[in-house]
Chains A and B, each alone.
Chain A
Amino acid sequence: MDLIYSSLASLARMDVILALLAGSIGGVIIGAIPGVGPAVAIAILLPATFSMDPLVGLTLLLGIYGSAMFGGAIPAVLINTPGTPVNALSTYDGYPMTKRGEAARALSLSYGASFLGGIISVACLFLLAPVLASIAPLFGSRDIFLAALLGAVLMVIAHRGKHTIAALLFCFGGFINTIGFEIVNYSKRYTFGQTWLDTGVDLIVVVLGLFALSQAYFLLSGKDDKQHVPEMSGSLFKGLGEVFKMPRVVLPSAMFGVIMGIIPGVGQFIAQFFSYALAQNLSKTPELFGKGSPEGLVASETANNAVPPAAMIPLLALGIPGEALTAMMLSVFYVHNVIPGPQLFQDKFDFVLSLYFCLLALNILALGFLMISTGWLIKIIAIPNRFLGMIILTFSFIGVYSLRNSITDCIIAAIFGVFGLILKRLDYPIVPIILGMVLGDIMEKMFRRSLLRVDTLLDFINRPIAAIIFGIIILSITLHIWSLFKLRVTRNRLAD
């Protein structure tokens, strides 16, 4: 009980309250602007959070991450343009509802669904906390190595139709991470005699380049879309109550979000896909899905907002980020010497609980802000693309230069920006590169540590946890190859 009180007391600090407000409100606004997204905002703000208290910095970043999806529903519903990539599915049913004159109802359904998804996910965090506290310390270096490998495998599998691209970009990220001075054997790797490469390529510089700068270049070199924002009439509160009458949609969708958030490498898209498909199967009106079904909208929004809190579980318990945004947040932990992993639950459980309470508060604040501000938030959708690109470029400079005041960092970020733009134009994913850098680093460190305890490679799986994780890796690959084989058979049948 004392632990809960002391964790709650952290929320009474002025800096934490400011971070909660800035994170929730800022996240909603960022999500509402198509073309920005939480990844760009988090990449830019990361260096600024290094000088903050770790709870404050993480609350700010988590606020942006979680609240962005609330705001992202606004353009998805009103103008058929998702505010963040994960709101794409909300356009299927949200926009048709707007065309029917039910914009207010659609928005309030989205808000309510996002809110419930977030709250249920945080509740799962609280319930799982004691379980994690007992299980996490059982994970040794071999288990964490295999868990990181599982994350890599699942990430590749999750990129349907682009497996080899995702794999090669993941390997590229892993390779970039190895550049520089390697402390175990005091040797340099792939520096080509260049002293500026001795310290390696900084993850945040790459993140800023790939996410923020590439998006700025993309917007600046494109055209402005003329957006006609429809009128919105009706009360937002009516739809909010309606969500509470859909437990058969909300609960399974939230569970999918939690499960997919916990599994490294999977994320929101898979969670939405499953919850949407299940909601359609269970619905009395499945034919309405894709044409303005309230259940479809609720299913996708619940699932995608249940993922961010759950994604904190592998990060906090094992030190393994589940996806790019939590991978970025890992650096905040390390800068403050708060090392996520098995020891965190034993040594700093109060910090973990404080974070959970902040996540709860963020959802409440985001919903409250949206209920009173949707009217003027709608105007933000109309910001011209190229103007937005200019703003992002300006923000990006502060993000890159504040790290080490290094013009070399700016050059590297700028080049990665062009690389990220090329990937965008080729419709190739960027996230595998970031995960490659982070998971690759974890895999190498844990592998080295494990070598002290193993005689052969088979010793990697002679522990129960390691054996289970290895089994899941093999099962995942086998099931996926089987599904690809079935698809090939189907394609041949259709061709005939």
Chain B
Amino acid sequence: MELKSMEKDLAVHTSSTRNPAELFFVAVFFLGAAFLLTQLGSQTKILANKSILAQPGLWPGLWLVGMAVGALITLAYLWRTRHHNKHGKLSAELLQWLRSSEYLLWFMGYALMAIYLGYLPSTLLFCAILTYRSGYHNPKTILWAVVSGFFIVVTFKTILQVKIPGGVIYEYLPAVIRNFMITYF
């Protein structure tokens, strides 16, 4: 019983399957921290006649040192255990990161659409198109997505009156509808 519980404790502290991009990620992190540390003098003000504890650069410097030291220790450990339980290739993992970043572009596209088309039209369009892009080609699912989008707009803009400015396109609407759309949709 004692051995089993010890093995369980051990399992928490030893690596299980290791992502091949860990070393890459921590190395980039370390390089970033080291670079930012070199910029400490130029990116923070140095006050003459004041102790180091009162300098504006103290806390950014401390955090960057913490990042660099933490990254270095982690790098050393990862390098030592780089052949243990590795699963997959670095290139495949990096490609997966890149693929997932596609949705960053979707999000930014939505944000820009909302500025020009207005919150309601852009949300309905976005929900429909992204649902289709995600592989749901069933009209019922796309309709559900559009209804969900409408529900979100009504909840936040119409009911809770969260501040989202009207779209540029609203300026071309007749005056009566324009104010209504700007206020509620």
Interface residues of A (CB under 8 A from B): 47-48, 51, 160-161, 164-165, 167-168, 170-172, 174-175, 178-179, 182, 184-185, 187-192, 213, 216-218, 220-221, 384, 386-387, 389-391, 393-398, 400-402, 405, 407, 410-411, 414-415, 417-418, 421-422, 425-427, 436, 440, 443-444, 447-448, 451, 484, 487, 490-491, 494
Q: Are A171 and B156 in contact (CB under 8 A)?
A: no
When C-beta atoms are compared, the residue in chain B nearest to A385 turns out to be B134
Q: Once bound together, how far apart are the Cα atoms of A447 and B3, in whole Å?
A: 47
Which residues does chain A contribute within 8 Å of B123, judged by CB atoms? Answer: 394
User: Interface extent on B, as a size class?
Assistant: 35 or more
- Provide a sorted-by-A list of 25 A–B residue pairs whose CB atoms are within 8 angstroms: A48-B156, A160-B12, A160-B13, A168-B70, A171-B70, A175-B36, A178-B60, A189-B56, A190-B44, A216-B103, A220-B103, A221-B99, A221-B102, A390-B127, A393-B110, A394-B126, A397-B111, A401-B164, A405-B163, A405-B165, A410-B107, A418-B97, A418-B104, A426-B25, A491-B13
Residues of B at the A interface (CB closer than 8 Å) are 3, 6-7, 9-10, 12-15, 19, 21-22, 25, 29, 36, 39, 43-45, 47, 53-54, 56-57, 59-60, 62-64, 66-67, 69-71, 73-74, 77, 93, 96-97, 99-104, 106-108, 110-112, 114-115, 123, 126-127, 130-131, 134-136, 141, 144-145, 148-149, 152, 156-157, 160-165
Within the complex, what minimum Cβ distance (angstroms) separates A267 from chain B?
A: 16
- Cα distance, A175 to B70, chains bound together (Å): 14
3 closest cross-chain pairs (CB), A and B: A168-B70, A171-B66, A187-B45
Q: What distance in Å separates the Cβ of B67 from its nearest Cβ neighbour in chain A? A: 4
By DSSP majority rule, is chain B's interface helix, strand, loop, or mixed? helix
Number of A-B pairs whose CB atoms are under 8 Å? Answer: 201
Bound-state CA distance A172–B60 (Å) is 10
Contact of B135 among A386, A407, A444 (CB under 8 A): A386
Query: Contact at B74–A165, with CB atoms within 8 Å?
Result: yes
Given A164-B77, A410-B111, A494-B7, A387 and B13 touching (CB < 8 A)?
no
Q: B66 touching A425 by the CB < 8 A rule?
A: no
Nearest residue, chain A, Cβ from B50:
A185
Contact indicator A487/B43 (Cβ below 8 Å):
no
Q: Find out whether the CB atom of B56 lies under 8 angstroms from the CB atom of A184.
A: yes
When A220-B103, A398-B162, A421-B97 are in contact, do A175 and B19 touch as well, CB less than 8 Å? no
Contact B107 A490 (CB under 8 A): no
Are the C-beta atoms of A175 and B97 separated by less than 8 Å? no
Cα A407 to Cα B107 in complex, Å, equals 11
Inter-chain contact B103/A172, CB cutoff 8 Å:
no
